[in-house]
């Protein structure tokens, strides 16, 4: 399998689907929104974008199955799976906040081989393949070299449906507000991790996430020289719903703080 060539094809698919999403945003209105669960929104744009991605990716690698947010394909396999979020940042999209993305990963078991995040607001295409480095619009990227938490900008995602760990989460926020350059909440975990990969954020952490939120970002960060772990310091971040990412020093600092509260 030529991962570099396959990634180039995935990039093209992401861009094509991105143009559909951008065009649909022009005439979008709130009456086209459905509620899946508490604060979990979806529209025909998410569903149609996912169908488009599934169709094209099926042609690209017919033997692969799919893990998708909107469940437009139930084809699964024990070996290769595409892990897709067709519109990460749906709430931003609905409210016309221009930070939302397409996230596509190819996994063999739990090993991520390809990760592509296309941030539509700035048309920034982040891509990585195993042992091939991480790239932004064709230029090589790396995680931040900053070693001190006090000089770092940290990204997170606010809980929006799972509030059972709110107290611990807020305690972490209190500590970070006092000991960093600041906190940011972009509204798309895929974008957060892409920004870690290119050094805009020194670190990122969140709980309550799914595989399609983080799979592509995991590879971007790793191929950009960063670390990824879960809140316990092990590797259960793909399906374990908690994640920490950053360079070695910052991710370790975040892990130490988070483990003291969670």
Q: What is the DSSP letter of 201?
A: S
Yes or no: say if 124 and 109 are a contact pair by the CB < 8 Å rule.
no
Helix 3-25 and helix 44-60, axial crossing angle in degrees, nearest 10: 160
Using the predicted structure, report yes or no on whether residue 83 has a pLDDT greater than 70: yes
pLDDT at 246: 98
User: Tokens for 262?
Assistant: 């969670």
Give residue 33's pLDDT band: very low, low, confident or very high (50, 70, 90).
confident
What number of residues does the chain have?
Answer: 262
Using the predicted structure, report yes or no on whether residue 209 has a pLDDT greater than 90: yes
Query: Mean per-residue pLDDT for 57-70?
Result: 92
Query: Mean per-residue pLDDT for 54-69?
Result: 94
Query: Mean per-residue pLDDT for 65-87?
Result: 85
149-261 is classed CATH 3.40.190.80: yes
pLDDT digits (tens, 9 = 90+) for 39-50: 567 788 999 999
Give residue 37's pLDDT band: very low, low, confident or very high (50, 70, 90).
low
Give, rounded to a whole angstrom, the gap between the first and last alpha carbons of the chain.
41
Structural fold of domain 3-141: Fructose-1,6-Bisphosphatase; Chain A, domain 1 (3.30.540)
Cα 104 from chain centre: 9
- Going from N- to C-terminal start, the domains of the chain cover 3-141, 149-261
**How buried is residue 251: exposed, middle or buried, by Cβ count under 10 Å (0-12/13-18/19+)?**
buried
């Amino acid at each position: 399998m030529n991962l570099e060539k396959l990634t180039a094809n995935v990039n093209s698919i992401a861009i094509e689907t991105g143009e559909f999403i951008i065009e649909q945003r022009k005439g979008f209105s709130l009456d086209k929104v459905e509620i899946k669960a508490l604060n979990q929104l979806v529209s025909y744009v998410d569903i149609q974008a996912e169908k488009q991605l599934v169709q094209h990716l099926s042609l690209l690698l017919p033997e692969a199955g799919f893990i998708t947010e909107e469940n437009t394909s139930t084809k699964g396999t024990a070996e290769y799976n595409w892990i897709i979020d067709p519109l990460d940042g749906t709430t931003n999209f609905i409210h016309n906040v221009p930070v939302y993305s397409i996230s596509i990963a190819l996994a063999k078991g739990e090993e991520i081989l390809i990760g592509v995040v296309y941030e539509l607001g700035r048309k920034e295409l982040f891509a990585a393949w195993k042992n091939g480095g991480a790239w932004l619009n064709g230029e090589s990227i790396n995680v931040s070299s900053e070693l001190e938490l006090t000089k770092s900008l940290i990204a997170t995602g606010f809980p929006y449906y799972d509030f059972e760990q709110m107290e611990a989460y807020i305690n972490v926020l209190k500590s970070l507000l006092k000991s960093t350059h600041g906190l940011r909440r972009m509204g798309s975990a895929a974008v957060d991790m892409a920004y870690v990969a290119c050094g805009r954020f020194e670190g990122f952490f969140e709980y309550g996430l799914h595989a399609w939120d983080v799979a592509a970002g995991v590879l971007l960060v790793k191929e950009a020289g960063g670390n990824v772990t879960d809140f316990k310091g092990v590797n259960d971040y793909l399906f374990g719903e908690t994640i920490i990412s950053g360079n070695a020093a910052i991710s370790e600092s975040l892990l130490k703080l988070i483990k003291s509260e969670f």
